[in-house]
Structure 1
Amino acid sequence: MGFFLETLIGGLMTGVLYSLVALGFVLIYKASSVFNFAQGVMVLFAALAMARFSEWIPQWTGIESKVLANVLAFMVAAVLMLILAWLVERLALRHLVSQPEATLLMATIGIGFFLEGFGQSVFGSNVYNIDIGMPKDPLFVAQGLFEGGILIDSQELVAALIATLLVAALVLFFQKTSTGRALRAVADDHQAAQSVGIPLARMWVIVWFVAGLSALVAGMVWGSKLGVQFSISTLALRALPVVILGGLTSVPGAIVAGLIVGAGEKLSEIYLGPFVGGGIEVWFAYVLALLVLLVRPQGLFGEKIIDRV
């Protein structure tokens, strides 16, 4: 039982990080009906920016405190994501707002390739470290209930807590602030939102910036665990089944689906992997998403679309 709980808890903590990446997809799709295929590269770009600026800022300013350097690097990377959001709206969305969804999808693919090349040119292509002081020693809990206790990776625990705090902040932002309510109105009906004076262009910049912040936190956490390398851009492929499972328009769906996928991957690899030769963790989430699509094409929490003719 103790080993099962270890696996389950580890999967849930990984699932929180999947949810963080999936939130970027959901937020942008809700606000602008654009499936942002560049979200994974945004995670890479933001992580590269923070990793490199955390190295450069002490050299430029003489700051010796690693904590302060990381805070300043995070702020600079956040500003870069804001500039990126403004450029995307100004150069792409504004001109493609009435185009078919396939055109917008291709635009995000182009943005992704540009960011990947631009990031490599500016920040370099080596593997970089982000040291935010995450503990590395394992934790043993419930030693009185199970022999030897339950082993928890402290890095994953801190990462999950950071992701949880961001998700909670996003929920409060959308529920309690006037800007968040305006974004929800834009998500429900673009034309109705415009008719009551909500500026779509500004809302799109905000939602792309919020998605960029989610990408920054995800990149910071993954970079701290594994190092910032270009394979981080494939993280979006791991989050795609989460988006499909939870529903493209549901923020709670992205969170719950991330937990389901994270726990399911770990448990299936441990308990089913030996019977199928291993590697089940790679395709489990996609098969699960496919099975859900056969029953609920809109996902577990997505809105059912009814076309009237």
Structure 2
Amino acid sequence: MGYFLETLLGGLMTGMLYSLVALGFVLIFKASGVFNFAQGAMVLFAALAMARFAGWLPKWLGFESVILANVLAFIAAGIIMFAVAWMIERLVLRHLVNQEGATLLMATLGITYFLDGLGQTIFGSDIYKIDIGMPKEPLIALESTFQGGVLINKEDLIAAVIAAALVALLTLFFQKTSTGRALRAVADDHQAAQSIGIPLNRIWVIVWCVAGVVALVAGMIWGSKLGVQFSLSSIALRALPVVILGGLTSVPGAIIGGLIIGVGEKLSEVYIGPMVGGGIEIWFAYMLALVVLLFRPQGLFGEKIIDRV
């Protein structure tokens, strides 16, 4: 039982990180109808910016505090992600209003390769480290209940708490602020929102900025765990099944979908993997997404789209 709980908790913490990346997809799709294939590149670009600024700023400003370097690097990377969001809306999306979904998808693919190349040009292509002080040693809990206790990775636990806190803040933002309500109105009906005076272009800039912040937090966490390298952009591919499972239009779906896939990956690898030779964790999420597509294409929490002709 203790080993099962250990696996379950590990899956929940990993799933929370998947949800964080998937949230970027959902936010942009809800507000603009664009499937942002560049979300993975945004995660990589943000992580590169933070890692490099954390190394540059102490040399430029003449201080040695690691904490101060990380705080200033996070702020600098956040400013850069705001600038990237503004440029994407101003130079790309504004000229593609009311275009076909395939056109918008191809535009985000172009943004992906542009950000990958720009990141390599500005920040370099080496493997960098983000050290935000998260402990690496494990934590043993419930020793009095289970023999040997339950082993919990402190780094994963803190990362999951950070991800959950960001999700909670975004939920409050959408539910309690006038800008959040405007974003929800735009998500429901672009034309109706414009008819009551909601500026569509400004809303798109805001939602891309929010997605940029989400990408920065995700990049910071994944970069701390895995190191900042160009394979980090593939983390978005791990989030695609989460979006399919939860639904492209549902923020709660992104969260619950991430938890389901995180737990499913860990449990299937531990309990089914030995029977089939292992490796099930790599393809489990995609098989689950395929099953969902066959029986409920809009996802578990997505809105069913009905076209009248």
Q: Is 1:146 the counterpart of 2:146 in the alignment?
A: yes
Q: Would you say how many aligned residue pairs link Structure 1 and Structure 2?
A: 309
Q: Distance in 2 between the 1:92 and 1:124 partners?
A: 25
- 1:217-232 matched pairs, under 5 angstroms: 217-232=217-232
Give the aligned partner of residue 214 of structure 1: 214
Task: State the AA in 2 paired with 1:72.
Answer: L
Q: Is 1:244 the counterpart of 2:244 in the alignment?
A: yes
Q: Distance in 1 between the 2:100 and 2:177 partners?
A: 32
Give the aligned partner of residue 172 of structure 1: 172
Quote the RMSD (CA, aligned, Å).
Answer: 0.6
Give the aligned partner of residue 303 of structure 2: 303
Consecutive unaligned residues in structure 1, runs of 5 or more: none
* Percent identity of paired positions between Structure 1 and Structure 2: 75
Task: State the AA in 2 paired with 1:209.
Answer: C
Q: Distance in 2 between the 1:228 and 1:257 partners?
A: 26
Give the aligned partner of residue 84 of structure 2: 84
Q: Distance in 2 between the 1:161 and 1:126 partners?
A: 29
| SS at 2:67 equivalent | helix
**Runs ≥4 residues deviating over 3 A:** none
- 1:38-57 matched pairs, under 5 angstroms: 38-57=38-57
Give the aligned partner of residue 61 of structure 1: 61
Task: State the AA in 2 paired with 1:61.
Answer: L
Give the aligned partner of residue 195 of structure 1: 195
Give the aligned partner of residue 283 of structure 1: 283
| SS at 1:130 equivalent | coil
Q: Deviations along 1:69-116, whole A, 9 cap, x unmatched?
A: 111100110111100111011111100012111010000000000000
Give the aligned partner of residue 95 of structure 1: 95
Scaled by the length of structure 2, the TM-score of the pair is 0.99
Give the aligned partner of residue 131 of structure 1: 131
| SS at 1:143 equivalent | coil
Q: Distance in 1 between the 2:276 and 2:41 partners?
A: 33
| Cα displacement (A) at 1:277 | 1.2
Q: Distance in 1 between the 2:62 and 2:205 partners?
A: 34
Q: Distance in 1 between the 2:100 and 2:134 partners?
A: 44
Q: Distance in 2 between the 1:259 and 1:52 partners?
A: 31
Q: Distance in 1 between the 2:226 and 2:242 partners?
A: 21
Q: Distance in 1 between the 2:163 and 2:227 partners?
A: 18
| Cα displacement (A) at 1:293 | 1.7
| SS at 2:140 equivalent | strand
Scaled by the length of structure 1, the TM-score of the pair is 0.99
Q: Deviations along 1:232-285, whole A, 9 cap, x unmatched?
A: 000000000000000000000000000000000011011111111111111100
| Cα displacement (A) at 1:67 | 0.9
| Cα displacement (A) at 1:2 | 0.5
| SS at 1:7 equivalent | helix
Q: Is 1:115 the counterpart of 2:98 in the alignment?
A: no
| SS at 1:151 equivalent | strand
